[in-house]
Structure 1
Amino acid sequence: MKISIYQVDAFAAKVFEGNPAAVCPLGHWLDDELLQKIAAANNLSETAFIVPGENNGEQGIELRWFTPKGEVDLCGHATLASAHVLYQHLGFNEPEIRFKSRSGELRVTKVSQGYCLDFPASASRDTPPPMALLAGLTITPTAVLAGTDYLVVLSNEEEVKNLTPDYAAWYNLDLRGVIVTAPGNEVDFVSRCFYPKYRVNEDPVTGSAHCQLAPYWQARLNRKVLTAKQLSERTGQLTCELKGDRVLLTGGAADYMAGEINL
């Protein structure tokens, strides 16, 4: 059996920027164990698998995401990469892609800046920081909130950039991961994202984290459209817009590789 595979740099203007994701189009769903083995072999933060729905996808395309360690409920950069593969390589020509996922329907449109993702917003609440979270930080935060991830607020961009976390301390945290954020020097806010329990110590550019970041910074800055930069080694930039209980995330994509998996 041969499976097509594409590797796309998402939230990127060119290759070697943004967050690399693998995308595997399938004719039907394979066994979950096999999907997990493929994701582990790819060893990227996410591998997306897409299966056409009824009428060759007109009624929605099924989408699932796997880290090297397990399946996740939502992934922004691999959704953007999947939309890029559909539009650029698989002949999809509808104005909007509707993905069916574990997080409900996700919509993606092609825009001048790349692709616009329509995702559910994620709320945060103030929380007493767990000792393990503080142990991994090595710096005192100005605030800690909890949502899908722990949201750790620091004073400035330099503190975010210079942070050297203790990943081992965060391995058994109860939430998905840790987002560290602060006001940006040239953008509205900056961040870094860490997911040790999924074997992704630092994720280069995390679309789903911005579903939590955007509502926080919108409330703090009183601005619906926000510019953001993730300060990983690869870096990546995106625009976030709040629309009710949804977040619109916009960014570009670049092809890195196309090939086949032999099973």
Structure 2
Amino acid sequence: MQLEIFQVDAFSAEPFGGNPAAVIPLQSWLPDDVLQRIAEENNLSETAYFVRNGETFDLRWFTPTVEVDLCGHATLASAYVLFEQLGEQAQVLRFNTRSGELRVSRNADGSLAMDFPAKQPVAVDILPGLLQALGLGQAQALYRSDDYVVVIDDALSLDTLKPDFVALSAFDVRGIAVTAAGRGFDFVTRWFGPRVGVNEDPVTGSAHTSLAPIWAERLGKNVLSCEQGGGRKGQLQCEVPGNGRVIISGRAALYMRGTVYI
């Protein structure tokens, strides 16, 4: 069997930036263990698969170790493949996912806008051992949704973080985001997910469904410029319209197109 595969750098206007994702269009679903083994072989933070379903697309995402409920950058990559590589003519792409229907449209500037359900993080007490595992001395606040979100004062200190990934994997959440205001953006973030097989994700679109509402409230604005990453970074714009959704916009660039043989 031969499958077409695309590797796309999401949340970057050029290759070698943002977050790489593999995208594999399918005519019908393969067994789950095959989907997982392909994702493991790709060894990217996410491999996305989609199957056309009438006027919509069924979309799933796999890390090298698990299937996940929501992935932003691989959704952006999938929409880019459909719009820019496969000639999809629809004005809005509708994806059926574990997290409900997700919609992606084109902005006037050529970026892609993803309409995601917003998360409502809850403030919690800072947990014993969490800051130590992150290599942090202190934090302003801690929130919990799918991830723990650690808010810190100094945006520049994000670049020097050296987490203990074994220690972080003991915390029962999908991942841990560390975020701060500043550095030329409304907020900047790094995201660590050793529990789902991704020690660090360069740009995590789904994490911004929690991050954007937090920063919208903190900064008193509903359109936010964002950057995520350590050595490799990507840029996003988030809009929090107040209707239970977050609009996450970014660009994408094709790095590779090829064939999988199984």
TM tier, smaller: over 0.9
2:244 maps to 245
Q: Measure, in 2, the Cα distance between the counterparts of 1:229 and 1:202.
A: 14
**Alignment check: 8 A CA contact 1:124 1:145 kept:** yes
SS at match of 2:45: coil
The worse-fitting range, judged by mean Cα deviation, of 16-25 and 166-175 is 166-175
Q: Measure, in 2, the Cα distance between the counterparts of 1:17 and 1:138.
A: 26
Q: Measure, in 2, the Cα distance between the counterparts of 1:232 and 1:162.
A: 8
* TM-score, structure 1 as length reference: 0.96
1:175 maps to 173
- Aligned-pair Cα RMSD in Å: 0.9
Once the two structures are superposed, the pairs formed by residues 122-133 of structure 1 within 5 Å of their partners are 122-133=119-130
SS at match of 1:201: strand
Identity of aligned residues (%): 49
Q: Which amino acid aligns with 2:247?
A: L
The worse-fitting range, judged by mean Cα deviation, of 177-186 and 131-140 is 131-140
Q: Measure, in 2, the Cα distance between the counterparts of 1:200 and 1:209.
A: 14
SS at match of 1:131: coil
1:95 maps to 91
SS at match of 1:207: coil
Q: Which amino acid aligns with 2:61?
A: W
1:85 maps to 81
Shift of 1:164: 1.2
* TM-score, structure 2 as length reference: 0.97
* Residue among 118, 132, 137 paired with 1:135: 132
Q: Which amino acid aligns with 1:85?
A: V
Unaligned runs of 5+ in 1: none
SS at match of 1:188: strand
Q: Measure, in 2, the Cα distance between the counterparts of 1:253 and 1:101.
A: 21
Q: Measure, in 1, the Cα distance between the counterparts of 2:236 and 2:110.
A: 10
Shift of 1:132: 3.9
Unaligned runs of 5+ in 2: none
1:75 maps to 71
* Residue among 229, 232, 235 paired with 2:230: 232
Shift of 1:114: 1.3
Q: Measure, in 2, the Cα distance between the counterparts of 1:113 and 1:205.
A: 19
Once the two structures are superposed, the pairs formed by residues 1-150 of structure 1 within 5 Å of their partners are 1-54=1-54, 58=55, 60-111=56-107, 112-139=109-136, 140-150=138-148
* Residue among 181, 190, 198 paired with 1:200: 198
Q: Measure, in 2, the Cα distance between the counterparts of 1:132 and 1:107.
A: 39
The worse-fitting range, judged by mean Cα deviation, of 159-168 and 41-50 is 159-168
Q: Measure, in 2, the Cα distance between the counterparts of 1:232 and 1:113.
A: 26
Q: Which amino acid aligns with 2:91?
A: P
**Alignment check: 8 A CA contact 1:151 1:180 kept:** yes
Shift of 1:113: 3.9
Q: Measure, in 2, the Cα distance between the counterparts of 1:233 and 1:13.
A: 17
